[in-house]
């Protein structure tokens, strides 16, 4: 079992403390825990920095970060290749994707071209991204005493946290850990998410789902990241098997997901792995039903939302975790909650859409 997990977020979020506790807990349970330190901090401590005396410009600094991060990740991958039969958890204190929050979109794309990479290739390097909100959001304990390489004010920390959140919109497994609990409990919530991931992704809390009456398209255009998702459900009597293609702006990612039932009706064991394009094409030849949808991913008040627009004019809103329906973004008008309504599962929607296509075809 290999799990690659990114811990990201704004300054003074609790990443260092989380990593220390995660490393101790899972090492004691027999896992090999590898920690990739924050690259920007290492470079700043070396004297390579985008501020102060002898500073370099931010784009040049991010080139150093990009290059050094790739070097460290190649070393990690070499280690994993030599220890494939062991249970390994890799903790990244920020990932390559964090670079995007410090430069313009044009500059980030220039970095991608220079290092011959696509954004989907970066996303595919990691299994999960956990965003810890900066303590500057909603607490009075914001401090930079634990990291001398940082110099952000509280306002700058909030701004950077927001930028970082947006970098990960559309990431398949993106989780926000907010400041609604004590700091110790915040760290425990991080550990809980990692524990779920390494034990087979047993999902106890469903995503809440709402039927959408009306959506402000201009809002989605300005604040959401649009993805094109193609989901293909395979014929399998014992398990729900689905292969998924996610099209980003200029690249694609491919996944196969298997859901197995447990003795508890509210729980399912979900396993997912990244596959290549050939594997994807081989699998979809066995398909049962296919579903195509536009997905709009956005963040509002530190909550992640997904708006799915299907080709039968159906629109659904998904929210991670619990939220008061009165606190949903005003730009999205919902008619009712359909979280537990089997009619609105993706698999059932695919079956209905494909049945109609079949009937039309054979008239």
The string of pLDDT tens digits covering residues 135-153 is: 888 777 666 655 555 567 7
Angstrom distance (rounded) from CA 320 to CA 65: 31
> Which of 30-34, 151-155, 274-278, 297-301 bottoms out in mean pLDDT, i.e. has the lowest?
151-155
Q: What is the mean pLDDT of residues 309-321?
A: 85
- CATH of segment(s) 2-199: 3.40.50.300
Domain ranges of the chain: 2-199, 208-361
Q: Which residues pair with 294 in a beta bridge?
A: 228, 309
pLDDT number for residue 202 = 47
Q: What is the mean pLDDT of residues 56-66?
A: 95
CB-based contact 143:152 (threshold 8 Å): no
Q: What is the mean pLDDT of the chain?
A: 86
Residue 68 has pLDDT above 60, yes or no: yes
pLDDT number for residue 308 = 94
Radius of gyration of the chain (CA): 21
- Above pLDDT 70, what percent of the chain? 88
| Residue 38 Rama label (left phi>0; alpha psi -120 to 50; beta) | beta
Q: What is the mean pLDDT of residues 75-84?
A: 93
CB-based contact 257:272 (threshold 8 Å): yes
Q: Is 171 helix (H, G, I), strand (E, B) or coil?
A: coil
pLDDT number for residue 362 = 36
CB-based contact 50:63 (threshold 8 Å): no
pLDDT number for residue 57 = 93
pLDDT number for residue 363 = 36
Residue 203 has pLDDT above 60, yes or no: no
pLDDT number for residue 43 = 95
Q: What is the mean pLDDT of residues 202-206?
A: 50
Residue 229 has pLDDT above 90, yes or no: yes
pLDDT number for residue 145 = 59
Q: Which residue has the tokens 């300054």?
A: 11
Q: Which residues pair with 174 in a beta bridge?
A: 129
The band of 356, judged by pLDDT with boundaries at 50, 70 and 90, is: low
How far from chain centre, in Å, is Cα 218? 24
Residue 64 has pLDDT above 80, yes or no: yes
Angstrom distance (rounded) from CA 121 to CA 252: 8
Higher pLDDT, 360 or 330: 330
Q: Is 218 helix (H, G, I), strand (E, B) or coil?
A: helix
pLDDT number for residue 328 = 85
Higher pLDDT, 302 or 203: 302
Domains 2-199 and 208-361 alike in fold: no
Nearest residue to 58 via CA among 144, 66, 169, 37: 66
pLDDT number for residue 340 = 86
Residue 270 has pLDDT above 50, yes or no: yes
Q: Which residue has the tokens 């579903």?
A: 291
The band of 350, judged by pLDDT with boundaries at 50, 70 and 90, is: confident
How far from chain centre, in Å, is Cα 197? 13
pLDDT number for residue 149 = 55
Nearest residue to 153 via CA among 145, 164, 142, 162: 142
What is the DSSP secondary-structure string of 10-63? SSSSSHHHHHHHHHHHHHHTT-EEEEE--HHHHHHHHT--SSSTT---HHHHHH
pLDDT number for residue 230 = 93
pLDDT number for residue 316 = 94
Q: What is the mean pLDDT of residues 103-119?
A: 94
Q: Is 120 helix (H, G, I), strand (E, B) or coil?
A: helix
Q: Which helix (H) or strand (E) holds 319?
A: strand 315-319
Angstrom distance (rounded) from CA 137 to CA 141: 10
CATH architecture for segment(s) 208-361: Beta Barrel (2.40)
Q: What are the helix (H) ranges across the chain?
A: 15-28, 39-46, 58-81, 105-114, 119-123, 154-167, 183-198, 217-223, 277-284, 346-361
Q: What is the mean pLDDT of residues 160-173?
A: 91
Q: Which residues pair with 177 in a beta bridge?
A: 132
The band of 348, judged by pLDDT with boundaries at 50, 70 and 90, is: confident
CB atoms within 10 A of CB 208: 18
pLDDT number for residue 204 = 45
Sequence-distant (6+) residues with CB within 8 A of 191 are: 18, 21, 22, 25
């Amino acid at each position: 079992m290999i799990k690659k997990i990114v811990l990201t977020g704004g300054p003074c979020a609790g990443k260092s403390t989380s990593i220390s506790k995660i490393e101790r807990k899972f090492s004691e349970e027999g896992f090999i825990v590898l920690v990739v330190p924050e690259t920007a901090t290492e470079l700043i401590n070396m004297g390579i920095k985008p501020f102060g005396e002898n500073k370099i410009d931010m784009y040049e600094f991010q080139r150093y970060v990009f290059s050094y991060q790739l070097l460290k990740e190649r070393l990690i991958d070499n280690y994993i290749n030599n220890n494939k039969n062991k249970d390994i958890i890799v903790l990244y204190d920020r990932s390559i994707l964090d670079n995007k929050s410090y430069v313009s979109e044009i500059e980030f794309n220039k970095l991608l071209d220079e290092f011959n990479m696509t954004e989907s290739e970066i996303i595919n390097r990691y299994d999960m991204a956990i965003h810890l909100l900066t303590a500057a959001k909603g607490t009075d304990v914001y401090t930079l005493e634990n990291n001398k390489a940082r110099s952000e004010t509280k306002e700058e920390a909030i701004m950077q946290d927001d930028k970082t959140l947006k970098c990960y919109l559309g990431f398949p497994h993106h989780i926000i850990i907010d400041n609604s609990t004590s700091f110790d409990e915040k760290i425990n919530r991080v550990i809980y998410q990692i524990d779920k991931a390494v034990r087979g992704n047993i999902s106890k809390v469903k995503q809440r789902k709402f039927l959408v009456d009306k959506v402000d398209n201009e809002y989605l255009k300005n604040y959401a990241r649009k993805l094109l998702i193609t989901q293909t459900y395979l014929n399998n009597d014992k398990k729900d098997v689905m292969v998924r293609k996610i099209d980003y702006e200029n690249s694609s990612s491919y996944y196969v997901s298997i859901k197995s039932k447990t003795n508890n009706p509210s729980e399912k064991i979900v396993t997912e792995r990244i596959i290549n394009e050939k594997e994807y094409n081989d699998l979809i030849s066995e398909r049962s039903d296919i579903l195509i949808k536009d997905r709009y991913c956005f963040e509002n008040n530190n909550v992640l939302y997904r708006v799915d627009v299907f080709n039968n004019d159906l629109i659904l809103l998904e929210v991670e975790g619990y939220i008061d329906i009165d606190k949903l973004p005003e730009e999205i008008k919902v008619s009712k909650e359909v979280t537990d309504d089997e009619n609105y599962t993706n698999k059932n929607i695919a079956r209905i859409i494909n049945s109609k296509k079949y009937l039309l075809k054979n008239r």
